[in-house]
Chain A
Amino acid sequence: MQMREAGFAIRTMSPGDACDEYLAWIADPELMGPLNMPARRLTISQLRDHIVQFDNKLRHLLGLFDETAGMLIGIVLLDINSQHRSARVSLFIGNRDYWGDHRLHPLAQAFQAYLFERKGIEKLRCQVAVDNHRMIGTAKLMGLKPEGLLRGEIRSHHDGSRIDQFVFGLLKTDWAERARQ
């Protein structure tokens, strides 16, 4: 999977993409906390092992790259349910310089178009902790609508408490309607 738009690219990660920046993100509690993932110190070798765990057919590990700067700036996880033609997406921008960067919007739009038009996806969704306002803002910006509250959906890695999540979704039909406007 690969696409380019306006100087940015999203593509399947390969073991060769393991880098110090990615290691630093995984070790950063501020970045991992909102994803409910523990900050971990991995080696480059362990990170390469992690990258190859994804089959990139149903479970995709994708990198967001600034092609002009020639660097990885974030990660997208994509889980596809081929039977239901749905996909669940989660992402984080590891490089803080790109938080709220409007230049990424064309790539995000192109990625949605790719999923709906070329991958046969009919429903896109993401689940976000109710206090992850940045990700909620991203979901809204991308046209995903809040569809419900999942009470105590996940367990906090921090203290074992149950965490509520919002489900956001976007149907292909709604996306196409929005694209027409």
Chain B
Amino acid sequence: MSTHSSSDGLQVARRLLAGALDLEEGTIDGQAQIVALQGFDSLAYERLVASVEEHLDRDVDPLMMVSVDTVADLGNMLSQNEDRSQ
């Protein structure tokens, strides 16, 4: 049984993106493409991957991470990975 809802994942995704891209969480639309968010660049992406790994406390599957396009995708990925670590 899933212990983390996708809305929890989306909330965490917004928080991690806000930190990596220096944005306000509330301005991040769940359906937005991550590359289209203000402040996205190569260093921001590097910070985002580091934040995700720090949050999950383990390395993230590169194939899973590279497939993430939208904020919602990131939220779903986080939810799935948190469930796996239960």
Are A102 and B41 in touch, CB under 8 angstroms? yes
A31 at interface, CB cutoff 8 A: no
Residues of A with C-beta under 8 A to B40 = 137, 141
Residues of A with C-beta under 8 A to B34 = 140
Residues of B with C-beta under 8 A to A135 = 42
Interface bits A125-150 vs B (CB < 8 Å: 1, else 0): 00000110111111011010010010
In the assembled complex, the Cα of A164 lies from the Cα of B35 at a distance in Å of: 23
Q: How many residues of B contact A (CB 8 A)?
A: 15
Chain A-chain B contacts (Cβ-Cβ < 8 Å), number: 48
Residues of A with C-beta under 8 A to B44 = 100, 137
Interface bits B45-66 vs A (CB < 8 Å: 1, else 0): 1100110000000000011001
In the assembled complex, the Cα of A179 lies from the Cα of B79 at a distance in Å of: 34
- State which size class the interface on A falls in: 10 to 19
A176 to chain B, nearest CB (A): 18
Are B66 and A141 in touch, CB under 8 angstroms? no
B27 at interface, CB cutoff 8 A: no
Find the B residue at minimum CB distance from A99: B43
In the assembled complex, the Cα of A130 lies from the Cα of B35 at a distance in Å of: 18
In the assembled complex, the Cα of A101 lies from the Cα of B42 at a distance in Å of: 9
B67 at interface, CB cutoff 8 A: yes
Are A134 and B62 in touch, CB under 8 angstroms? no
Contact of B45 among A130, A134, A164, A166 (CB under 8 A): A134
Are A134 and B67 in touch, CB under 8 angstroms? no
Between-chain CB contacts (< 8 Å), 22 pairs: A99-B42, A99-B43, A100-B41, A100-B43, A100-B44, A101-B41, A102-B41, A130-B66, A134-B43, A134-B45, A136-B45, A136-B66, A137-B40, A137-B44, A137-B46, A138-B42, A141-B40, A141-B41, A141-B42, A164-B62, A166-B62, A166-B66
Binding site for A on B (CB under 8 A): 34-35, 40-46, 49-50, 62-63, 66-67
Which 9 A-B pairs rank lowest in CB-CB distance, beginning with the nearest? A137-B45, A100-B43, A130-B62, A137-B42, A100-B41, A133-B46, A138-B42, A134-B42, A133-B49
